[in-house]
Structure formats: C-alpha cells, structure tokens
Amino acid sequence: MTIPDRRPRDPAVLGKRKQRWRFLPLLLAVGICFETPGPAGSPAPSALLRGPDAGAGPILKPVVATSLKAILKKNEGKVVVINLWATWCVPCREEFPDLIKLYGKYRAKGLELILISVDNAEQRRQVKAFLKENGATFPTYINAEETYEALIDFLAPDWIGGFPTTFVIDRKGRLTVSLVGGQNYQVFQKAVAPLL
C-alpha cells in the first residue's frame, strides 16, 4: 500500500489541526462523537456493553502505526475500509451494524474491513462484548499508541477530529474517502461499491 509514513507537518496543516475545535458545533450537529471515556475501568454507558466475559468472542489485537502499515501491506489489491470507533461514542455504536452488513455483502468481492477501537486498554472487556453483540467474529484491533491521534496521523495528518472516522483505501493503496461522523449503509456502499 502507498499510505505514507507520518509526514512532517507544514504550517498550513498545523494551523488546521490547531483550529479543529472551531468546527465543534457543526460536527456535533451532524452526529460526530467528541465524548471522552470515563476513568479507566469505569462502566460503559450502553446496555449493549453488558454481556459475555472478555475471554469469549472475537479476537482483539493491539495495533500501532507500524503494525497497521503491515496490515495494509498484507491487504494490497483489496479495497480496505478502516473504521475508528469507541464503545463510549454513540454515533460509533449506531453505525457499527451497517459496517458489518457492508463487509458481509462485499467481502467476497475484495473488501477488507479493519475495525480499530480507540478505547483505553482497560476497556478490552467492553470492546469484546460489543464486538460479539454486533457479530464481528473476525479479528479486530484496539489502539496501542500512546494517543489515538498518533494512529490517525499515520492515515490522515489533516484529520479534523471526531469519531467515528472511516477511511476508504482503493486497490492501489490510495486513501480515496474520509468520512467523519456517524454514517449509514447507503453512504458506506456509495463510497465502496465503485472501487470493487
């Protein structure tokens, strides 16, 4: 894949990053989550997170920028959808079933779905319970960088913030679509289908 390593930022990009919060009212209006997780180990707010023991269910692996680069390399030639989400983010939870549906429909045509939770490591149990509840039986990932921004910067240094964030990468490894905020199946399908 041709996703570049973290690039040095020029002043224009830095300016965008510093001003990202001026868009907060607009982003909240379109369903973007800027919640912050509670203290480590605190219970998640959603009833969906109550459930099975952490030992059961989907495989949840740690991921950092370098390992994400290797994952993308392994999926060269496929259309890759990367979704960054969190259990404490309501729009993330709402769009999640549509991502699973999209993957089920297009996997055989060369779609790969990479789900990355930005929850704290202490919230693995809640993450795994949510994944199992939503039928994500394939390997998924949890951010292991010091901050989730380090991971996102690897993909899109001009990211304005907010969750969920979905990146669509074409078969040639080019980042073609960035979706910030809660989406639905039709939006995902429109972004992915022409690339398959």
Q: What are phi and psi of 80, to 5 degrees?
A: -115, 130
Q: Is residue 187 part of a domain?
A: yes
User: What letter represents residue 181's amino acid?
Assistant: G
Residue 95 pLDDT:
96
The H-assigned helical ranges of 5-139 are 11-18, 24-29, 65-74, 90-106, 124-133
Which pLDDT belongs to residue 33? 55
Distance CA 23, CA 38 (A): 24
| CATH code of the domain containing 158 | 3.40.30.10
Residue 102 placed within a domain:
yes
Q: Is residue 32 part of a domain?
A: no
Positions of the chain with pLDDT lower than 70, given as ranges: 1-57
Count: domains in the chain: 1
Looking at residue 141, its pLDDT comes to: 95
Q: Is residue 21 one of the residues assigned to a domain?
A: no
SS3 content of the chain, % helix, strand, coil (to 5): 40, 20, 40
- In this prediction, residue 159 carries a pLDDT of 74
Q: How far apart are CA 37 and CA 39, in angstroms?
A: 7
In a domain, 166, yes or no: yes
Flag whether 27 is in a domain: no
| Domain presence at residue 15 | no
For 132, the domain range is: 58-195
